[in-house]
Chain A
Amino acid sequence: MSTPVASIAKLLTQPTSGERARQRINWGMRVIVGVAAFLAILPLIALILFVILKAAPYLVPTFFFNNPLDKEPGVLNAIVGSLQLSGLTVLISGPIGIAGGVYLSEFASPRVVAIGETVIDVMLGVPSIVAGVFAYLILVPVLGFSGWAAVAALSILTLPIMMRSTQEVLRLVPQAIREASLALGVPVWKTALFVSVRTALPGILTGVILAFSRALGETAPLLMTARGTNAENWLDFSTTMNAMPIVIYQYSNAASDLLIGQAWATALILMVIALTINVLVRGRTVNSRTA
């Protein structure tokens, strides 16, 4: 790597005959990076089109309201199960994660912040299968294959996400607002809750929704914990539950075309839910940032 001074000197002494070559390289690279950007979005387009194509014949209205053992195919129990598992996951990891994020942002000493952020980094990197194995080893022997074990595995994955996003948005709250509140004699806890957290609330909720969406798409931990079932399970987390990713994975290996078709249809439902959540949440964030 040449130093800037050497590079500048090189530029100044360059003969003009090289000028056109430099411009040509510049244009060439412009084309190359443009092609790279196109290649980056190509898979998304291909994937969405292909899933829609495969799923369309199976996506009849009854598919949403029937269960696997009914006369007409359906995945109601998987949709219901996925929403319950992800919902309970954010209900558990949400408050804990937000609390930890508030502590890191408002109270912790620099030393604790450094340790806490390192632990969050490590936990964010934990593969979902590791969380699944953990629940399988520790909880499944006690609770059996159950919604609780699945929620525990998913919570391990969403907890650091919640904590990181809470801490990040609280960092954006101007220090002056906190100082103004404290100067008026408002206690520290009220300042943290009704000034800092209140100001950052939209961002914190965005984190909760994204964590929900992440939990919705997890597969490997669910296969070892909730296991899947043909029955419709409402709020009984002590037994097996079905979920959309489980259906997709299990039906994708099936011998019958009908089941494989249902895998595609379920994949489309799951994908539409995940993409809608992300479009809504991110679109909102972008707007509020520019406003």
Chain B
Amino acid sequence: MAGMELRRVGGMSADTLFRRITGTGLLILFVVLAGLIVAFVGYSNPLWTIQSPIEFLTSSTWSTGTIDESGQTVDALYGALGALFGTAATSLIAVLFAAPIGILAAIFLVEFAPPRIAAPLTFIVELIAAIPSVVFGLWAAGDLSNRLRDTIEWWIASSFGRFLPFLSEDPESPAADSVFRAGFLLAIMILPMVVAVSREFIRSVPISLREGYIGMGATKWEVIRDVILPTARIGLIGGVLLALGRAIGETIAVTMVIGNAEGVPSSLFQPGQTVASKIASNIGEASGEIAIGAMAALGLSLFLLTTVISLVVRVLVRRFAVTGGRV
């Protein structure tokens, strides 16, 4: 047969050659990941000659120091607590809003909506994910941010804010930017991801489980509460974590509405910064090994955070796949 002949290219069969070429593609991805790790660890290294990683994580002072008579930089201290706080606060606010609404919307799409409505709705929600984050940022800075300030933020500040200092705001002169508004914008941006992942896992619950329960006289909602949500639980958690990872890394939209203020803000309705927004707004000014090292350390902490989340999600989803949803 003509196809059986082994064509040899450079002493190697065509099959082996093809295998090596495609394998190189995968190898390049491995090399890029290794490169990222080596670069961020390497470039952040000089920072640890003047301070410890503990100081980096626990101090909220970010100072490039002063230059003394001998030309040496003194009193430099790079504490990322303010940025880390902002990242935690914005992404948790985002999840707080996006997780319940996203999961409920996914339940509607899978369980309640007739196909005629479900298909276009799903499509529209997916389109949100296609909008570039800089457009979200522009919209938030020009419109959404002010609306939030005058509605939800005002309401929380004038009710809970009276006795909870971290939710307080001067109603006469609210801040121009706030951590809360950045978090709410992130909620909108990660919502499609929560809906899409939740939808997949809710759909994967075996139909026989639903039928059995409905056959016993359960209402639709009882099926959802007692069968679907418990069965899909791990997948739903995975989806929310994935969205959390996205929120942690989001940069430009947050930079445009959070105000980029140093330190830990006294209230969620005050301007702040996130790790990503700090990198975006400060990296241009960073010069010298140590200042660049501080930037690399910020990048490294983002990279580690998102990597841990990706790995946790992977383990969760694999557990879901192994048990076939029946936990």
Q: Which residues of A contact B (CB under 8 A)?
A: 1-2, 4, 7-8, 11-12, 22-23, 25-26, 29-30, 32-34, 36-37, 39-41, 43-44, 46-47, 50-51, 54, 95-104, 106-108, 112, 116-130, 133-134, 136-138, 156, 159-160, 163, 184-190, 192-193, 213, 216-220, 223-224, 245, 248-249, 252, 263-264, 267, 270-271, 274-275, 277-279, 282, 286
Contact = CB atoms under 8 A, between A and B. Distances in A.
A219 B252 contact: yes
- Sorted nearest first, the 7 A-B pairs with minimum C-beta distance are A127-B249, A217-B132, A99-B25, A100-B25, A189-B18, A36-B104, A103-B22
Given A33-B112, A163-B25, 20 more contacts: A11-B218, A32-B104, A36-B102, A37-B113, A37-B121, A41-B125, A43-B128, A97-B29, A103-B23, A119-B33, A123-B32, A125-B245, A125-B306, A126-B306, A129-B251, A130-B302, A184-B3, A185-B3, A193-B18, A270-B135
Nearest to B125: A40
A270 B32 contact: no
A125 B251 contact: no
* Max count, chain B CB within 10 A of own CB: residue among A127, A189, A252: A127
A249 B309 contact: no
Given A40-B101, A134-B39, A34 B307 contact: no
A67 to B, nearest CB: 20
A246 to B, nearest CB: 9
Contacts of A186: 3
B127 A121 contact: no
Main secondary structure of the interface of A (DSSP, over half): helix
Contacts, number: 296
Given A118-B314, A129-B299, A159 B29 contact: yes
Interface of B: 1-4, 6-7, 14-15, 17-19, 21-26, 28-30, 32-33, 35-36, 39-40, 43, 100-102, 104-105, 107-109, 111-113, 119, 121, 123-128, 130-139, 141-144, 188, 191-192, 195, 212-213, 216-222, 224, 226-227, 230, 242, 245, 248-252, 255-256, 276, 279-280, 283-284, 292, 295-296, 299, 302-303, 306-307, 309-311, 313-314
A42 B24 CA distance: 45
B292 to A, nearest CB: 7
A192 B14 CA distance: 12
B219 A264 contact: no
A201 to B, nearest CB: 16
A44 B26 contact: no
Contact of B138 (A128, A187, A264, A277): A264
Contacts of B121: 37, 41
B96 to A, nearest CB: 14
Q: Max chain B CB contacts within 10 Å: which of A12, A32, A185, A217?
A: A217
